[in-house]
Amino acid sequence: MQDNQHGSQMTEVEKFDEWVKGFFLDPETCALDHQLFSIDIYESDDEYMVEAVLENHDVEDIKVCLCDNELSITVDDTGKHLLEKKEDTRPTQRKIPFPFSICSRRITAEFSNPILVIRIHKFSPGKTDEDINIE
């Protein structure tokens, strides 16, 4: 991605700002917020944060995975559906594709019902596994 005005490479912060604008203006994002679960994205001086509202779920139902620049949040409550005898037992998944690689960053996740917060540290390198442990 290049900044045409200056002809130089965009910084990570600029890429993130542009991507966030596009992400939230995308009609599919809004539809998925209503159909599945809502996602919000924040930035602080030290980290990027992804917040998901996962009402009526337990930490055991939630899986956070990473693949290069894409973060995915999967909610699998098939056990609950079996008890309720519902037909649709597919896991619910949202994917968040970052505009740069995040796989070499320290990533942490915390679930405090109903909010899942995933923190991608800007300046703390770390070898992150594909599956991210949720505290």
With CA atoms as reference, report the closest residue to 58 among 105, 111, 127, 96: 111
pLDDT digits (tens, 9 = 90+) for 102-128: 988 999 999 999 999 999 999 888 766
What is the Cα–Cα distance from 6 to 4, expressed in whole angstroms? 6
What is the Cα–Cα distance from 25 to 29, expressed in whole angstroms? 8
Looking at residue 59, what DSSP letter applies?
Answer: G
- Asked whether the beta carbons of 47 and 122 are under 8 A apart, the reply is yes
Q: Is the peptide bond before 97 cis (omega within 30 degrees of 0)?
A: no
pLDDT at 34: 87
With CA atoms as reference, report the closest residue to 130 among 68, 76, 75, 62: 68
pLDDT digits (tens, 9 = 90+) for 58-116: 999 999 999 878 999 999 876 554 455 555 556 799 999 999 989 889 999 999 999 99
Band of residue 3 on the pLDDT scale cut at 50, 70, 90: very low
